[in-house]
Amino acid sequence: MNSGLRKAWLSEEFGARARGVGLRLVQAVGLWLPTGPDDYAIPDLAVVESDFRDAHVMRNCYAPHVFRMVLEVTSTNWADDLGPKVEGYAQAGIPVYVVADRKHDQVLVCTDPRGGEYRNRTPHKRGMSFTVPDVVGVEMELSVDRLLDGDED
């Protein structure tokens, strides 16, 4: 499955709702991490404040406080998405981290970052849907199957 297609439907549907409440859905935007002077990540998708460009740090990276949610779709580096990125995003205080984990055929939703870790990690299996956590500010239900498969039927 082409992750570009997976992101296309999400960008259209979720992006429109985000813009409606003063947020933006962005791709290829770096998130500056507090774990070191040169640490950053570039999530597959992120929900950010509409004025996120005011929080530019360097290169194409922005301060964590403008990020409401990040979403990663696993590929061959799935261990990074489920290990170091979980820790890095929690340390950065990102309110919601969603991992479309194709290796384990589930979607993991991490919320409530405190003390450098996510207090809540909820796996969602195929056939399920989940509501985007309120802290993101976008009301939407997401299908696990669609996040894992994209536009495939």
Alpha-carbon dihedral 103, 132, 80, 27, rounded to 10 degrees: 110
Concatenating the DSSP letter of every residue in 6-40 gives HHHHHHHHHHHHHHHTTEEEESS-EEE-TTSTT-E
Which DSSP symbol is given to 84?
Answer: H
pTM of the model: 0.90
pLDDT by residue for the chain (153 residues), tens only, comes to 344 545 677 778 888 889 999 999 999 899 999 887 788 999 999 999 999 999 999 888 999 999 999 999 888 778 777 778 888 999 999 999 999 999 899 999 999 999 989 999 999 999 999 999 999 999 999 999 999 987 554
Task: Please list, in sequence order, all residues whose beta carbon lies within 8 angstroms of the beta carbon of residue 76, skipping any fewer than 6 positions away.
Answer: none
DSSP H or E run through 85: helix 84-91
